[in-house]
Structures are given as C-alpha cells and as structure tokens.
Amino acid sequence: MTIATAKLTDPAVRAFVTALNAGDRTAFFDALTPGATMSDDGSDRDVEDWTEREIFSSSGHLDVQSETQNGHALVANYRNDTWGEMRTAWRFTVDGGKISRFETGQA
C-alpha cells in the first residue's frame, strides 16, 4: 500500500518527497539545509551530483510504502529511467524544519 505524499508525518520529509516527485530542483534544495549531506548504500555522495544523476535527469519517483521514527524513516519503491524500480530505505535527519542529511539504499 502506498502512502500519499500529503499524508507523510514530517513536513520536511513531505517537502522533500513532493519536490523529488515533481522534479522540482528549487523546491528540493529549499527542503535541505545549507551544506546538507547524503549517502547511498552506505557511501557518502555529493548531494548535487547524486541528485542530478539519480533524480532530476533520470525522472526519479518515490512511492512511499511505510514510515517509522516519526516520519524520519521511509521504505519506498523508487524508480528512475536509469535503474528501473527498486525497494529502498530512506532515513532523514531534520534540523530546524529542513533536512540536514538523508541516507538511502536498497531495502
């Protein structure tokens, strides 16, 4: 069962997922703190380079299946034009209403 993005518990995570699914770079980076960091499958990555490749230029889309930890941990089906669809886990650190770090990887 998919959780509607509008129903996600944490407003910062909701803004992140909404912007990702809309392909809206401006709204996406507005959801992050300055200097936000991320990792993919346990390896730190450059946020701008990774998001351009894995989200924006490849039509990334997140269908949230479940959320835990007050909305700071998601399991979702993620798809893009490069890799197809896979089950992924996402963890978010939220500071001052924005995301300062996100971690993703296969679930």
Residue-by-residue pLDDT tens, the chain, 107 positions: 899 999 999 999 999 999 999 999 999 999 999 999 999 999 999 999 999 999 999 999 999 999 999 999 999 999 999 999 999 999 999 999 999 999 999 99
Contact present, 43 and 59 (Cβ < 8 Å): no
Say what the pLDDT of residue 104 is. 97
Give the number of domains in the chain: 1
DSSP state of 4: P
21 phi, psi to nearest 5 deg: -65, -25
Say what the pLDDT of residue 41 is. 96
- Which CATH number does the domain housing residue 19 bear? 3.10.450.50
CA angle 5, 28, 77 (to 5 degrees): 45
Q: 46: domain range?
A: 5-106
Question: Whole-prediction pTM value?
Answer: 0.96
